[in-house]
Copies of this chain bind each other. A is one copy, B any other.
Amino acid sequence: MMKSIVSSKYLACLVGSIILNLLFIINIYVGGQWKLSWSLGAAIEAETVAAIYCSGHGRAYLDGLVVVGNKLVCDCNTCFTGPDCSQFIPHCTANADGGDPLFLEPFWMQHLASSALVVAGWHQMSYTYGGKSFFSKELAKVVRKVHASVGNAVTQNRFIIFGAGSTQVLSAAVFALSPENNSSPAKVVTSVPYYPVDKQQTQYFSSQKFKYEGDAYRWNNRSDCSSTNMIEIVTSPNNPDGQLKKAIFHGPNVKTIYDHAYYWPHFTPIPAPSDEDVMVFTLSKLTGHAGTRLGWAVIKDETVFNRMMIHMRMNSMGVSKDAQLRAFKLLNAVLEEGTGIFDFAYQTMKSRWERLVQTVSLSNRFSLQENNPQYCTFYNKVRQLSPAYAWLKCEREEDKDCYAVLEAANIIGRQGNLFGAEDGYVRLSLVRTQDDFDILIERLHKLITEGDGDKTM
């Protein structure tokens, strides 16, 4: 009987062990890990790096800085330091300068599987796609789908061209819209406050094809502009103040470039799909991937499209296919997530604006740009703007240099004069990391409440 019991126990253990083996086999085979070969090492490396602990105030990158012992270091947020970014630097400066869109980083950290990308060593080595074009047809398809799903641009029967960020696309458009011969260079104008790159870039090229002529409003009253070739760059929503804008100039000699970098539900109501001749967008302000350098233009006229293609060829022989693949992956993930990224982005910006308005309205020392609600076809409701930047004005007579006022309070913004405005204005970036925003609010609160006690409300 003893032997029967032992025998039964062996049998039971054996059956259990066999079932476990079958589970392993099924898990490996069906889970697909059975199939992984050449990508396994790279996948392990990426997941290992991603798991490096940076205390929630930073992250480690595959190509991040390496220190002694071949150790990857954490890339820390502003005001944080130490090997795991856990040490706060108490009197550090709040960075509200650049438009680095890291407010979207948490979204991607919550959507790891849909946004992960595996690239084979032999992937897309050629200059072109299918021996013909510098630009991915499949990426263009996805871009059209995204615009259709958001309803912010008409893309049917339009051409799409890519560039290294809207930066390169904008210069391609300016070159393409300039007259063919250099005898009557186009006058490039933008209305104050304007995006500084429009001016700086146009002046930098020093081209005989075009010349930056400054504030569009000042040209509007001149009698000689009806016969002059004009190129107006309209940034809408505007950078720095987030307002939706329309062109000032119209006429047969006028070409308009609409820079719609911020024309997403993250930052603005979408009253209607934009339907302009040249509309420029960028991945930077849609998914937050500024470092990828992927912008595009939606263009009505084939001649303009062809001329922009020439620019892309002459300038850089196309656009990185790695950037195009990354954008392809990310935009497909955006579509997969339904309204996910827009809800995340809009809620984040909305909540940041609520805190900012609350803080600024503690006194009348500062004011913010106007924020008039409009109907949004994306959210089917009336909503306010939630701009990427605060266009802060120093209201006091003695606060002439608003940048200096903030700098003294340990806040770095961007000077108003860079945007063609007065020194009484400063642009504050609200799209950076949560750490950046929290520190900004803390510093602003301190400045407003302690700066001048008897003037707080």
Contact = CB atoms under 8 A, between A and B. Distances in A.
Interface stretch (A271-279, A309-317, A346-354, A441-449): A309-317
Interface stretch (A152-160, A202-210, A245-253): A202-210
Nearest to A39: B43
Contacts of A104: 125
Interface string A63-85: 11110000000010010000000
A47 B38 contact: yes
A126 B102 contact: yes
A120 B24 contact: no
A14 interface: yes
Interface string A109-124: 1011111111111111
Given A24-B28, A33-B40, A320-B291, A125 B102 contact: yes
Interface in A302-340: 310-311, 314-326, 328, 330, 333
B41 A40 contact: no
Contacts of A127: 98, 100, 284, 290-291
Copies in the complex: 2
Given A119-B119, A139-B63, A316 B316 contact: yes
Which residue of A104, A117, A204, A205 has the most chain B CB atoms within 10 A of its CB atom?
A117
Interface stretch (A4-12, A262-270, A395-403): A4-12
A357 interface: no
Contacts of A137: 65
Nearest to A169: B316
Interface centre among A31, A121, A324, A328 (most CB of B within 10 A): A121
A46 B118 contact: yes
Contacts of A206: 182, 207-209
Interface in A120-141: 120-128, 130-131, 136-139
A41 B116 contact: yes
A291 B320 CA distance: 6
A44 interface: yes
A204 B313 CA distance: 10
Interface residues of A, number: 116
A122 B108 contact: yes
B18 A7 contact: no
A293 interface: yes
Contacts of A325: 62-63, 322
A20 B115 CA distance: 36
Contacts of A41: 113, 116
Contacts of A205: 205, 207, 314
B21 A326 contact: no
A427 interface: no
Nearest to A134: B291
Interface in A3-37: 3-4, 6-7, 10-11, 13-14, 17-18, 20-21, 24, 28, 31-33, 35-37
20 contacts: A17-B18, A24-B28, A28-B33, A36-B40, A37-B47, A38-B116, A43-B43, A47-B118, A64-B138, A100-B128, A112-B120, A117-B118, A121-B333, A127-B291, A164-B319, A200-B314, A293-B316, A316-B316, A319-B320, A322-B326
